[in-house]
Amino acid sequence: MNSQLQQLMQMGQQLQSQISKLQESLDSQKIRATAGGGMVSATVDGKGHLKGIEIDPSCVDTRDVEMLEDLVVAAVSQAQARARDVYDEEMKKATGGLPLQLPGLSGLL
């Protein structure tokens, strides 16, 4: 019984190490998406946090600010959706495919 407990603790430590590496990796990833045929692009990290917005000056029309706002929202939403996909894939790798919800990581995206 003691041996099984030690194995379980080792597995937990390995998983914790993998999750720490995953968090670092997510912080450094840059995921980009565009809207309006590339007129607006948004960059997020692997956790979905917005890191930057680029707007093509040709789409800035003071008479139609609403269109630009919609493009920004669309680009950010797409980038965050891609970040969720990256997160899910990386989590599957880190946990060996087990569907774990880990405190501090669930709800990041």
The tens place of each residue's pLDDT in the chain, 109 residues long, gives 578 888 878 877 887 887 788 888 888 889 999 999 999 999 999 889 999 999 999 988 889 899 999 999 999 999 999 999 988 888 888 777 665 555 554 554 4
What pLDDT score was predicted for residue 109? Answer: 47
Query: Residue 39 belongs to what domain range?
Result: 2-94
What pLDDT score was predicted for residue 11? Answer: 78
Residue 30 token pair: 């840059």
Domain-located, residue 107: no
Edge-to-edge strands, sheet with 50-55: 31-35, 40-44, 50-55
Domain-located, residue 100: no
Q: Which domain CATH number covers 36?
A: 3.30.1310.10
Domain-located, residue 108: no
Domain-located, residue 62: yes
Domain-located, residue 39: yes
Report the number of distinct structural domains present in the chain. Answer: 1
Residue closest to 86 by CA, chosen among 11, 38, 25: 25
Domain-located, residue 109: no
What pLDDT score was predicted for residue 88? Answer: 86
Domain-located, residue 106: no
Per DSSP, 40 falls in state E
What pLDDT score was predicted for residue 45? Answer: 92
Domain-located, residue 6: yes
